[in-house]
Amino acid sequence: MRSVTPGWPLSPVIRDFCRRLSHRRPMLLGYTPVDPVHQVKESHFNAWHAVRARGGAARRGWVIWEARLGGDRLVHASYHSVWHPPGAGPHELLDITPREDGAEHEVFVPDPTREIETFMHGGREHDLAWSDRTSIAHMPYLGGDHERLGLVFSMEKRTALMAAFGFVCGQHTLSDVARG
């Protein structure tokens, strides 16, 4: 199954799916390279890095994808972070995460109601984010029946990524960044 960015303007099916995720309007965002250390599939860390290095804020939401399974269409949303640079207008968000598929644009639905939270498990700190959503009624979450997932953002991975970004880990978590 190969997922692609839906066409713009969005079809009624995709607009309806977006409305179920958030009351905010979908946006078409292009990739904006800000720093060569930003990595594919690491939007939360990339946004965290941009905030630490340049100011501004991380904004959470959903990237919308569409796939064909035989004759059926699957729409799914991945929890994603973008960067709101300092001094930018309220709708001037930048997607600073390189795209694995090289797509020029992606559909982003801002969702200010959901944030990454930190929890302790097994004596270690982990980040908890939202599962990918789907348009399939009997399978609303791509990760099974769990609305939220403990991400693979263990302290070890966070430390390694922060070191790659040139930061000392300290006590910062992704939820600290969300608070500014």
Neighbouring residues of 87: CB distance < 8 A, sequence distance ≥ 6: none
pTM of the model: 0.76
Q: What sign has the CA pseudo-torsion 12, 102, 112, 157?
A: positive
95 close to 85: Cβ distance less than 8 angstroms: no
Q: Which two tokens stand for residue 1?
A: 């199954």
Consecutive H or E run containing 157: helix 155-164
* Percent of the chain's residues with pLDDT above 70: 68
What are the DSSP E strand ranges found in 25-157?
27-30, 57-69, 72-84, 105-110, 117-121, 124-130, 133-136, 139-141, 148-150
The per-residue pLDDT for range 128-147, each reduced to its tens digit, is: 677 677 776 656 665 555 56
pLDDT tens track, the chain, 180 positions: 577 889 999 999 899 989 988 999 999 999 999 999 899 988 988 999 999 999 999 999 999 988 876 777 778 888 899 999 999 999 999 999 999 888 889 999 999 988 887 766 677 766 667 767 777 665 666 555 556 555 444 444 444 444 444 433 333 444 444 444
Supply 67's token pair. 């796939």
